Structure formats: structure tokens, C-alpha cells
Structure 1
Amino acid sequence: MTFTVRAPASSANLGPGFDSLGLSVPLYTTVRVTPQAVTEVVPLGADLAGTPADERNYVYQAMTLAARRAGRSLPPARIEIETQVPLARGLGSSAAALVAGIVAGNELLGGPLDTETVLDVAAREEGHPDNVAPALLGGIVVATLDRLGTHYVRLTPPAHLGVTVLVPDFELSTSKARAVLPGEYSRADAVHALSHAALLVGALAQGRLDLLRHAMQDYIHQTWRAPLVPGLSDILDEAWRHGALGAALSGAGPTVLCFHDTRHATAPLHAYLQGVMARSGLTGQVMDFPIDEAGTLVER
């Protein structure tokens, strides 16, 4: 019997929450699985052109991770994959594919893994939980990974909190964005990161939208990655003047995320972000989204 798994995109870090904080966005990677005698992997759509159409495919490899954790062999199936998540843009495309694959593999096996185990498998494969946790659970998620497991708190998004994303038309690999980070940080930068991450989580938990601009300041990764994303420094400094509640580099970039108050028009913020792109010689899209609260869904 055919079933479908749908996993959302995600935006990680949100400023100071490096490798530990993220939220889900309603752009989806979808995997349709039909048990049959021989395995087929079928990437669909222009966005997945050139991705492996065999067992080397990342979604299929993710399915095998579920089987390995369950101590089982993965049954053969036809696996169709499509995505709305732009690749290498800082919106968790690999995390959506990973989570969709692990959940699909678990479902194909009859569901031997619970949600916490699925999350742990995904976080260990990714190396950090900030994208995979919201992709799986939806909403806003704070998570850590250690030798004992993956531990998380899921936050219901505050009322009236919306997301605006600026998605430039160029790719930025996570490996390149990580390569520019320093090997060591000063005590002052560490204290700044800890205090602002704590303030950001508290503000999100209590719906203190007025604190987001201050809480989202970061010196751990955004300062170093700014040269890779033209216009980022300007947006981080000035977006609040045009209606943003706060701004951050989305994941490793180049997408930039701004929070907005859904009770207010976003046209001034859109105009500002499009102006930044134009001055930087870039093209791209500016889009408004709610925060996806459903996370990964399975439909039969």
C-alpha cells in the first residue's frame, strides 16, 4: 500500500542559537513509497535533476539509517521524491530529505522506531539537531545532541509571529560557510552568545516580540559569514527600521530570515529587502510564511 511522507523546510540558528535552535517553514520535501518486488528511486522535478536515481540517493540512504537502527533489512519499494525546498540556500533541504527518508524507512518497516529515536538517528547523521528537530516536530525547537541522546523542547510559536525570507539566486554550501568560522572564540563572545541565546528562547517562549531584535544578535557565526552573503550586514543592522522584529542568517545562508508581526503589513520590509538585493547586484525572492507547526506527516 502506497504511503506519503512530507517533511518541511527549516531555518536554523536564528542568530545566537548556533546548531541548537530552529523553526519549520511550509516548503516541503515529499516522498511517496510503494512496496514492490524491486527497489526503484525516482527523483521528480527540475530541482532534483541530476540527483542519483538509484540506491545512492540521499533519501534512500536515509531510509537505510532507519533500518540499521531497527536492526532490520529495508524491503524493496518504489520511492518517488520531489521537493519545494531550494537546495543549498540555508533552508534545511538536506535535513528535510534526511528526516523524510528516515520516517519513510521507519514506516516501510512497520514503525519500530519512536519519534525520539527517529530524531536521534537524524541528529547523529546531520551532526547537530537544529534543522532536523523542527523538520520532524514542527514549530520552534531547542535541541542538543550528546552521547546519551538528543534532547529537545518544542515551543509553540508566539501569536502574531510570522516569517519573511529573502532567498537569493545563488547557492552557498554548508561546508564553505563552516570553513570561515574561527577555531576559538573569546570569553566575551562566548558570554554574548550564551546570554543572547537564552534571551531569545525566553522571548519566544513568552511571546515577547519586542525583545527579538536584541536577542537575535550574534558574533559566533554571522559576523564571519557576512562576507559570503552580500547585504547581510546591512539587513542585520537595519531591517528593524522597516518592520522586521529581528533578522538572522538562515542556517549557513545565503537565505536571510526576518521575523514580522502578522498584524502589520510587510510591504515596507519586502521593499527594503529587494532594495538590498538590487544594491548588491543580486536577484532572488522575498516570501512571507507562517511557521509550520505540523512537522513531518505520514499519509496513507
Structure 2
Amino acid sequence: MTISVPATSANLGPGFDTLGLAVDLRNRVEFHPSKFFSVSIKGEGENNPRLKGNNLFISIFNEHYSRLTKNKQNFKFTFYNQIPMSRGLGSSSAVIVSAIASAHEAAGIRVSKRRILNHALVYESHPDNITPAVMGGFNAATIEKNKVFSQKKHLPDYLKAVVVIPNKQMNTSKSRTVLPKSYSKENAVYNLSHTALTVAAFFNEDWEMLKLAAQDRFHQKARMKTLPELFSVQKVAYESGALMSTLSGSGSTFFSLVYDDDSAMIANRMKQKFPDFGVKVLDFDNDGLIIER
């Protein structure tokens, strides 16, 4: 069987640990019972031998499969990875979600997406990436009593994502160390109001509001200072007509939401201005986790 999970862009400016959306860049895993355990990786991470011996997917899969079945069974896994690692596009969330879903499928147990999402919360303590990874689309999410509560908005085809992917990784845990230890009441209210406005703009499809709504005082500037070129990326995106342009997760990728008609022009300008960075035009993904039996 095959399990696939999309890349995600989280925070979206002011929605720290709360907002996220899915883009059509997928990690896929194929697996079946086998006499011998084996792992094959194609695409992102294929040249990293440590991933075969210290694989987060395998660890989570085995934990859930043994809990569900009380049995030991070898599987052959083949991973087809498209999501860049440690670039702020939800690669770890994709691994977590796909491992949990795969273990349940291998055990012959059908569970809802909501159940998988809540299982994922054990390994990812904030819901901004795991929610769109499971559900697809744009999501606002919160945690209450160890469960994720969220609302999803389907994203229309006339919008595209332009992602600029620097050649430098950013570790989420390390990037959190550069953030302030506390925030003023003024900045907290600023981010609350802008987060609320961002959610309203998405659900009302008022895309022109997003440039104002997506401003942030919690995390972006502190993280962007570790790779100052990102300030120029954002400036060029807005000058070229991006509807919103925000740090993707903790970085280093920068995400811009654009009209389809402008996507090629904006991407080409990014390629000209930042020749050392990768640039992709992506559709939005409204499906999230897909299980093909």
C-alpha cells in the first residue's frame, strides 16, 4: 500500500504555532510485508546513510504497529521524498503523520484523520504543521485536553504558492532559542489581532487583505536575522505582487501566496534575484493525508 503526505507552511506570519496550509509537494512511502526488514530512500535524503539506521518513521511505525497487533512483522519500505529536510516545509510532520497512518493500515485498522492527527500530537507538540499535513488546505488549530481542534478552508485553484528555498537548513528547536523569552502586552495584542484578521481573510477569500494581516511581531524578524537575505526575499516578493509573503515555519524557506496569473513572473524574478536559492511554483493541496490501498 502507499501513504502520501503533503508539505506544509506554518505560522503564516502572526499565527505562531497556530496557522498552517498544505502545498502539493509530497512524501510517499510504499510498503509491504517481507521476510526481511529493508529501507530504501529515493529523493530527499537518499544520500544520507544515517536515515536508514536512525529513521524517525521506522521508530514511530514500530511503536504503533507493535501496540496495535502485539506481533512482530518485517516490512519492506520504499520512501519517495520530495519535501526538503529542515527547510520549514513540514518534513518532520510528514514523517510523523505517514508513520502513524502506515502502522494502522499495516495492522488492518481503519482510523479517522482526526484520530491520526491526535496521535501525531504526541510527537509534535504544536498543531500548525501536523494539521494541514493530515487535513490539507488552510487550517487554524488549537490544542485542548491533548486534542487538536481545527477549522479548514479549501484553497482555490487560482492561487499558487511560490516558495524560495535557501541552501541553508534551519533547525526548529535551535531557531526557537533566538526568540524572546517574553512579549509585551502591546505585541501580544498586535499578533492576536493580525492572526484573527488573517483567518478571516482566508475564510472570506479577501486575498488583498493578507499583506496587512500577515504582519508579525513574535518570531519572523528574529529568525530571519540568522539568514539576512530573507528580508530581501520578502521585499522582492511584495514588490512583485505577492498577496502575502512569510517565513515558512521556522525557515529557511520563504512562502508567498500569489495569483496564478502572477506566479511565473514572480518565480522568475526570484530566480534572477536569488540564483543560489531554489524556487518552486506549487499548487495548494486540499487533500492532506492520502491512503492508497
TM-score, normalization by structure 1 = 0.90
Residue 144 of structure 2 corresponds to which residue in structure 1?
146
Could you tell me how far apart the structure 1 residues matched to 2:67 and 2:246 are?
Answer: 35
Could you tell me how far apart the structure 1 residues matched to 2:206 and 2:156 are?
Answer: 8
Deviations 1:63-115 (A, max 9, x none): 13433664744632111212011111111111111111111111101125332
Residue 153 of structure 2 corresponds to which residue in structure 1?
155
Deviations 1:225-258 (A, max 9, x none): 1211222223445532211001100011111001
Q: How far off is 1:4 after superposition? A: 0.8
Instruction: Rate the CA distance shift 1:27–1:19 in 2: closer, same or farther, 3 A.
Output: same
AA paired with 1:61?
Answer: S
Instruction: Rate the CA distance shift 1:74–1:43 in 2: closer, same or farther, 3 A.
Output: farther
Which deviates more, 266-275 or 216-225? 266-275
Structure 2, unpaired ranges of 5+:
none
CA contact 1:14–1:22 (8 Å) conserved in 2: yes
Residue 285 of structure 1 corresponds to which residue in structure 2?
278
Which deviates more, 193-202 or 77-86? 77-86
CA contact 1:16–1:217 (8 Å) conserved in 2: yes
Within a 5 Å distance, the mapping from 1:1-300 to structure 2 comes to: 3-45=1-43, 47-49=45-47, 50-54=49-53, 56-67=54-65, 70=68, 72-73=70-71, 75-158=73-156, 160-237=158-235, 239-262=237-260, 264-277=261-274, 283-300=276-293
CA contact 1:129–1:143 (8 Å) conserved in 2: yes
Aligned residues: 292
AA paired with 2:263?
Answer: T
**Percent identity of the aligned residues?**
33
CA contact 1:65–1:102 (8 Å) conserved in 2: no
AA paired with 2:267?
Answer: H
Instruction: Rate the CA distance shift 1:151–1:74 in 2: closer, same or farther, 3 A.
Output: farther
Structure 1, unpaired ranges of 5+:
none
Q: How far off is 1:19 after superposition? A: 1.0
Instruction: Rate the CA distance shift 1:142–1:66 in 2: closer, same or farther, 3 A.
Output: farther
Secondary structure of the 2:13 match is coil
Could you tell me how far apart the structure 1 residues matched to 2:9 and 2:72 are?
Answer: 31
RMSD of aligned Cα (Å): 2.0
CA contact 1:40–1:79 (8 Å) conserved in 2: yes
CA contact 1:21–1:143 (8 Å) conserved in 2: yes
AA paired with 1:52?
Answer: L
Could you tell me how far apart the structure 2 residues matched to 1:68 and 1:125 are?
Answer: 17
CA contact 1:24–1:292 (8 Å) conserved in 2: yes
CA contact 1:158–1:207 (8 Å) conserved in 2: no
Instruction: Rate the CA distance shift 1:46–1:237 in 2: closer, same or farther, 3 A.
Output: closer
Q: How far off is 1:261 after superposition? A: 1.1
Q: How far off is 1:33 after superposition? A: 1.0
Which deviates more, 103-112 or 229-238? 229-238
CA contact 2:247–2:254 (8 Å) conserved in 1: yes
Secondary structure of the 1:183 match is coil
